[in-house]
Amino acid sequence: MSKPLIGISTYLEPAKWGVWDLPAALLPAGYPRLVRAAGGLAAMLPPDDGPTAAAEVVARLDGLVVAGGADVEPVRYGAEPSPRTGPPARERDTWELALIDAALASGTPLLGICRGLQLLNVALGGTLVQHLEGHTGGRGVFGEHTVKPVPGTLYATLVPEAADVPTYHHQCVDRLGSGLIPSAHAEDGTVEAAELPGPGWVLGVQWHPEMGEDTRVVEGLVRAVSTR
């Protein structure tokens, strides 16, 4: 059987390389590395716009990863921006929310990573804590902390034991979106993973598996694709 094609969202950023200083569709290299290590083929998805484009893209994929990045604009979850919330990335919010909607509508297996979990929660009507401390190793440095699985969840079938994970976030899930259940917590109670129970495969993790060596979560996504 051919390897499942896993799309990973990318984002436009100004970038410099060689003689060039241009907008580029960026993705940290750990994401495709992780998908390949888990047995998938990685496809980087350039930003586009709107639900039609998102549905067209998702229809060609076997699975979708929504990657980490900027803060979700608080208006998306009915809140005023706090002074600690970063500048909005409106086009990115629109595009990735459309990708998530398309994946949910089509039953395409979906993994949200960091911002991807936060967006999944917002897509389902949930809200975010706009600032928390203790989940980075300092500016631009990944930290590490333990996450404990909630027994009986999809996540717990993938990673049954408490695990130390690479972490870099200053926001987190507050009120869970419709249908989502928590599937792992940090020691301070932060929701570190959430999932949609049911026949599909929809999971978000707050940490950054692409910065570590544990491939089990993405292996779960690849297996879900293979058995769809």
Q: By CB under 6 A, name the binding residues for ligand ABU.
A: 68, 70-71, 114-115, 118, 169-171
Of 114, 135, 145, 172, the catalytic one is 114
Q: Report, in Å, the least distance between residue 132 CB and ligand ABU.
A: 8
Q: Among 145, 86, 149, 148, which residue's Cα sits nearest to residue 118?
A: 86
Of 73, 96, 195, 210, the catalytic one is 210
Q: Among 191, 175, 172, which residue's Cα sits nearest to residue 183?
A: 191
Q: Report, in Å, the least distance between residue 130 CB and ligand ABU.
A: 8
**Buried-state track 177-194, b at ≥16 Cβ within 10 A, e below 16:** beebbbbbbbeeebbbbb
Considering the complex, state which of residue 125 and residue 142 has its C-beta at the smaller distance from ligand ABU. Answer: 142
Q: How far is CA 111 from CA 98, 208, 209, in A?
A: 15, 12, 11
Count of all residues that appear for the chain in the document: 228
Does residue 107 come out as left (phi exceeding 0), alpha (psi in the -120 to 50 range) or beta? left
CB 116 within 8 A of CB 9: yes
Considering the complex, state which of residue 133 and residue 161 has its C-beta at the smaller distance from ligand ABU. Answer: 133
Catalytic-residue membership of 172:
no
CB 167 within 8 A of CB 146: no
Q: Report, in Å, the least distance between residue 68 CB and ligand ABU.
A: 6
Considering the complex, state which of residue 115 and residue 185 has its C-beta at the smaller distance from ligand ABU. Answer: 115
Considering the complex, state which of residue 70 and residue 79 has its C-beta at the smaller distance from ligand ABU. Answer: 70
Considering the complex, state which of residue 10 and residue 171 has its C-beta at the smaller distance from ligand ABU. Answer: 171
**Buried-state track 43-76, b at ≥16 Cβ within 10 A, e below 16:** bebebeeeeeebbebbeebbbbbbbbbebbbbeb
Q: Report, in Å, the least distance between residue 128 CB and ligand ABU.
A: 7
Q: Report, in Å, the least distance between residue 18 CB and ligand ABU.
A: 30
Active site residues: 114, 208, 210
